[in-house]
Homo-oligomer: A and B are copies of this chain.
Amino acid sequence: MLNTLSFGLLCMLSRGSFSGYDLMLKLQPFWQAKHSQIYPLLAKLDQAGYVEHIKIEQSDKPDKKVYSLTGKGRQALIEWVPEPAAEPPTTRDEINLKAYAMWMISDKDAMRQLFETKAAHHREKLEYYDRLLEQVKQESGDNLESIDDKNFGRYILIRKAITLANTQIEWCGWVLSFFDRHAQKEERQ
């Protein structure tokens, strides 16, 4: 049986034909995977008949393999997609652990820095997803907010990423406000 990453690749290929490199870039925002995991998997899916590829020779860039869904691949996808998703989804953020033990650290400024860089990372992500949203809007226009649109899924995912990033940024700001109050107390003494 296929694993989740395989279905992730098939999902991307449901919307067009792409090289392994392209698939990696498209998949990254929604399911982290390195090229060293993707290339061998694509070869396996190819052998098993879920995808097929053609070689594209390029003069300015390296040659590439462009993959497409086969009928078998499409069939496997439309059976998998409506099945219940694995719960709970996995999330692993080191800051959760570091926050838990922060009471041991006397250097509060170092801890403050952790939350500031965390906020900065989320602001970067937010900018990225904002740009993605503009792209999708230009592609689809006003038809986008209909579940029949081919881009609807991509649209709602980008929207989720944006609201989650905003929530994280707000949370970091809220935490940092405690550090500010703490610093003011120190000054008065």
Residues in A lying within 8 Å of B, measured CB to CB: 4, 7-8, 10-12, 14-15, 30-32, 74, 77-78, 80-82, 84-105, 107-108, 110-111, 113-114, 117-118, 121, 125, 145-154, 156-157, 159-160, 163-164, 167-168, 170-171, 174-175, 178-179, 182
Contact = CB atoms under 8 A, between A and B. Distances in A.
A105 B145 CA distance: 17
Nearest to A145: B178
Q: Determine which residue in A11, A101, A117, A145 has the highest number of CB atoms from chain B within 10 A of its CB, and name it.
A: A101
Contact of A99 (B89, B107, B153): B153
A101 to B, nearest CB: 4
Contacts of A77: 101, 104
A98 B30 CA distance: 11
24 contacts: A4-B97, A31-B92, A31-B97, A77-B101, A77-B104, A82-B98, A85-B95, A85-B118, A88-B121, A89-B91, A89-B93, A89-B94, A90-B92, A91-B92, A99-B157, A100-B153, A102-B152, A103-B148, A103-B151, A146-B178, A146-B182, A156-B171, A163-B167, A163-B170
Contacts of A92: 4, 31-32, 89-91
A174 B164 CA distance: 14
A102 to B, nearest CB: 5
Contact of A147 (B78, B108, B148, B152): B108
Contacts of A152: 102-103, 178
Contact of A81 (B32, B85, B104, B145): B104
A63 B99 CA distance: 31
Contacts of A90: 32, 90-92
B97 A11 contact: yes
A167 B160 CA distance: 9
